[in-house]
Structures are given as C-alpha cells and as structure tokens.
Structure 1
C-alpha cells in the first residue's frame, strides 16, 4: 500500500508542512533550550547507475555529503543500480518517506517520470537529456552544463598541442557530453583554427579499459593531446608520455605529468537550490541546468598545479579575458548538443 504523506492532524501534505516549518532556519519547540531548535534535516536519497567514484556521479555524491555535513539533509544512496531496477528503487525510497530523490535517468526517462507521477508529494531532481514537463510538477531536471569551463580548457589544450591533433574519447553522444566536446573544440580553435580532432564514443559510462584502448588508437594516429571525458583516457596518455585535459573532476594528483587542466563541475549550487525549494514548499518542474554555469558557481577550471607556468602566456591571458567576459555576460559560450564528428 502506498504510504500517505498527509499530516493527519492538520490535513496538509508533508511537503506543505515543510514549507511552513522545516523551511525556516529555526522552529519553535516547546521544552527546547531558549524555545528554539534546528530544523529537521531533509531526507534525501540518491540513485545512481554507476559507482559513486565515477566522475559525473561523484560530483552529485560530494555535494550531498557536504549538505549532510552542514546538517541540511540526511542522505542515503544506492549505486550500481541497473536500468531495469531503477524504477523499483525509486519506489522503495518514495515509500520510505524520502522527501527529495536525486539521480540520473538518461536511460530510463519514461519509467522514472511514471514513478514520479505516482508520488506527487515527493520532489525528484534527476539528471536528464530532456526538459521538465509542467504536467509533472514534482519532477525537475538538471545536467552538467559546464561548457564554460570546457571551452577554457580547450584554449589551454590548443596552445599546447604540437601536432595540432587532439583525440577525444566520450561515453555516449548525448547532449550532456556533446556540448562539452563542442565547447572544448571551440576553445582549442581559438589558439589554432587548423587543429584536427579525432572523436570516438565507447558506448559505456564506466569502461576504463575500453576508453584506454580507444585513446591508444588515437595516439597511434598522431594525437599528442587527449580530452579525457571518460576514465582510462588519462592512463593511456600517461603511458605514452603525452598530455590530457580532464573533465568534471580534478585528477591531476593522480597524473601530475599528464593532466594539464580540468573542467570541474560543482553540483553544490544545483543541489542547494533544490533543498531550499523543497524546504520552502516551492519545488516545481524546472530546468536546474543553469546552476552549472560558471556565473552560478557551477563550474571552474582546476588549478594548473604542476603545469603552473608551463602553459603559454598568450593562452593564459585569453583564459583570463574570457573568464572575466563569461562572468560579466559579455561572452557566451555556445551550447551545441549535436554529436561532434572527427575532422
């Protein structure tokens, strides 16, 4: 039997109840010191189809951990959930009374939205290639729109390739990946319009050996710089003594002589916005993608670390100029979701 989320004493839903009580920073509680106590943490569940160590999911997991450490949420998660099991796990968390469920539904869009429709008083914030549907008001979408940072790392890559041949290995040619590759390519062409790109997708979100072998083939075909959208690519670059650009997370500590720069995704602005909306009782169908933009603090370039002072000054000057322009709105990085092709 579906668990009711109705507060029997007042006849209002738990989500509305959150909007009138837990949504405030402090609430009155009889007997508590000074008559005040902290709001109850929001119950949040994460559902992931890959290990939480995987780049993309790791950023969601990290943001949730930070929110939990602040005391804003009580967080649990399930990882390595198969596509066929995803809807079932969503229902289990919904039945257990979790108030906000986060995850990624790229391969289970229809099923996930059907589950959300069954639990209108629970907020769902899901990574998706599609937009929100106003007819499903409790289902919001997000994606890592970190094209700003990807573009800037492309400028750095374009200044450091000597063969003007860059290899790019991605998981699947979906908008979330495509837009980052296009932005990176645009940045590289700022430094050298004649750069050629080898583009390949491995058909998996987590297959480091396959990504590594694909990268090896690109190196054999002349690439001296790799765009590491997937794990395994930087390993190939390291073994062959060439350079790489990271994506979503900073891996330079693991590849100090290989990874020049990385476009970092910060999921905190996205999650914090959702938490605030649920607490206020105002969560609705919306596209949270904008909170990944650099202007919102959703992305950045990782520190150059061991490559500090090794990137041509002309490139660093352009990175600084474009960063300032992006933050002011004077320069807008194009969002191109079409599948990129080799040149």
Structure 2
C-alpha cells in the first residue's frame, strides 16, 4: 500500500509539472502563416511582405509557406487551401480579387487575414493594409527636382489606383516645392510586372526631354541607365544595381504591420483593423533611402531643405497631403 501511495504521489507530481509547462509550450508554438501573391517574390511590393515574413520565420516565431504568381482566377482556391491547411494567419493582396477574398474570410472566421486592400476592414477577421509611403515619396520628389536640369520628370506606374496615385501626387508635390515650374509626364502600363513595357514607356518620356524618371515599376531604371538619365526608386532600394542612375528611393518596411499581426494572432486579439498607418514614417514603416553614391551629387541646399522637411514630418509639424486621385500630366 505504501509503495502504491508513493507511486501515485510521483505520478501526480509529474502530471502537475507537465500542466505547469503547458502554457509555456503553447506560447512557444510557431504560428502557421501563409502568403499568397499574384506576382513574383522579387516584385517590389510583394518583396516587402515576403521579407518581413521571412524575418519572422528566421526568428523562430512562425512557420511560413507562400505561393507566388497566383493568377486572379486561382486566388480564391489557393486561399481556401491554406485556410483548410491549418494556417492561422493568411497574408496577401486582394486588390483584384476583393469579393472572393472577403468571401473566403467569412467562411473561415477562426483564421486571421491581413490583405492589401483599398477597402475597409471586415468583421470578424479581415484586416487591411496599404503602402502609405507618400511621405518619403514627397522627399524623393524634392531630391528629383534638385538633380533635374531639364525641368522635366517622367513617372511610370502600374495601375492608376489609390496606392499608386498617392505616391505620384506626393512625389510631384515635393518636386514643386523645390521647383514650382517643374513639368511632369505620367503613364500607366496596366500591369504590376512587365519590365519591358515599363521600359518602353520610360524611353518615350526621355525622348520628350525627361532627365529624371520616377520608377514606380521595374524596367524604368533600366531605361534611364541606357539613356544616361537619372531615376528615383520606389518601395525598395536598387541603388546597388544602378549606382550611377538611382538617386534616391522611397522605401517601404512591412515589418511593423507583420509583427503586429503575428503578435495579435498569438494573443488571440486579432481584430478587423486598417494597418495603413503602420506604413508611415513615424512607425518606421517607410523612409527615404540613404543617398549613397549621390550623397555629394545632390545640391547641398536641396539636401538641407529635404532633411528639414523630413524632420518636420517626423515631429508632426508638416503633413504630406494624401491625394488618391489619378494624376494626369504631360509635358508641354
């Protein structure tokens, strides 16, 4: 009897120890996250999401799987596959598949969704985000005007949607602060990833006198390099590939948004929310890239004005206007 009592006591102690470890084990469990992208991982916009999620995976916080080049008609199917596959957070872009993405979210209320979207969040589990990098775009416009000799800047974008329009409008506003007489030409290639088409659009503007190109899409900087002109990058810093062409870049950092979503899902507190604000400079969601190889080539007075404006944005004394209207401009 005494032996049985001791054995029972040992078993009970062991069970208690396991129960005390359970919460810690659950806290350390990796969150299953899926990414669904309609373009290649290297495309500027998607690369920011992919980079932030890979960083979370490298820290051991999540188990991450992703699909690239998913055609719009297949997007809903892939979302459902990931949702039924045990993923707790699904990240992607819903711009061209808004209705389908929201339908999937309704069908899987226990799965959290963080999707690029121009629309509002949807209860109970559909949060949205956007690349609100109009602030560094404004600063980049100031730099562009400072290095332009012809007074003509060309802008080539993907589609005339709010996410692109606001960057272009902010860029042009920044350029006009330096040179009120600056002229612009705006073109959209109606594709998120077609470097040859973007390149041809840029060539057309250069032929009309543009000596600085705003490279909202891949391909534009290649055109500028071939013609000996300058370019301003967007979302990512490509100056290492174009050291004599890319003067500055408005950078997007998705880490603040991704890290917030992961934390909230783990805590069971994820709710429909607009994450757009976390892409702004005050949250370190965006910034103007270092001038690097152009540090000494941009006029000193322009750099001084730009840095003062950067400080004003960060301390809240200057607000870059958000203008989502389609910019329409052509050289005179």
Q: TM-score, normalised by structure 2?
A: 0.92
Q: CA deviation at 1:72?
A: 1.1
Q: Tell me if structure 2 keeps the 8 A contact 1:243–1:259.
A: yes
Distance (Å, rounded) in 2 between the aligned partners of 1:123 and 1:287:
14
Determine the structure 2 residue equivalent to 1:127. 116
- Of 270-279 and 202-211, deviating more is 270-279
Distance (Å, rounded) in 2 between the aligned partners of 1:249 and 1:237:
17
Match of 2:39 among 30, 50, 53: 50
Determine the structure 1 residue equivalent to 2:183. 196
Alignment of structure 1 residues 63-212 onto 2, 5 Å: 63-133=52-122, 136-212=123-199
Match of 2:229 among 242, 251, 262: 242
Q: 1:274 to 1:89 in 2, by over 3 A?
A: same
Q: Tell me if structure 2 keeps the 8 A contact 1:106–1:128.
A: yes
Q: CA deviation at 1:144?
A: 0.2
- Bigger radius of gyration, 1 or 2? 2
Structure 1's unaligned 5+ residue stretches are 1-27
Q: CA deviation at 1:30?
A: 2.4
Correspondence 1:221 to 2:203 = no
Q: CA deviation at 1:240?
A: 0.1
Distance (Å, rounded) in 1 between the aligned partners of 2:101 and 2:77:
9
Distance (Å, rounded) in 2 between the aligned partners of 1:63 and 1:253:
21
Distance (Å, rounded) in 2 between the aligned partners of 1:308 and 1:321:
16
Match of 2:18 among 27, 30, 35: 30
Output one character per residue of 1:133-170: Cα deviation in whole Å (capped at 9) or x when no partner: 3xx22000001000111010010001110111000000
Determine the structure 2 residue equivalent to 1:15. none
Output one character per residue of 1:89-143: Cα deviation in whole Å (capped at 9) or x when no partner: 000000001000000011000011001000000000000111213xx22000001
Q: CA deviation at 1:31?
A: 9.1
- Of 302-311 and 229-238, deviating more is 302-311
Match of 1:298 among 285, 295, 310: 285
Match of 2:252 among 262, 265, 268: 265
TM superposition outliers: structure 1 runs of 4+ over 4 Å: 35-38
Pairwise CA RMSD of aligned residues? 1.6
Determine the structure 2 residue equivalent to 1:232. 219
Identify the structure with the greater helix proportion: 2
Q: CA deviation at 1:278?
A: 0.8
Q: CA deviation at 1:231?
A: 0.2
Structure 2's unaligned 5+ residue stretches are 1-15
Q: TM-score, normalised by structure 1?
A: 0.89
Distance (Å, rounded) in 1 between the aligned partners of 2:238 and 2:306:
20
Distance (Å, rounded) in 1 between the aligned partners of 2:170 and 2:262:
30
Q: CA deviation at 1:29?
A: 7.4
- SS of 2:132's equivalent in the other structure is coil
Q: CA deviation at 1:267?
A: 0.2
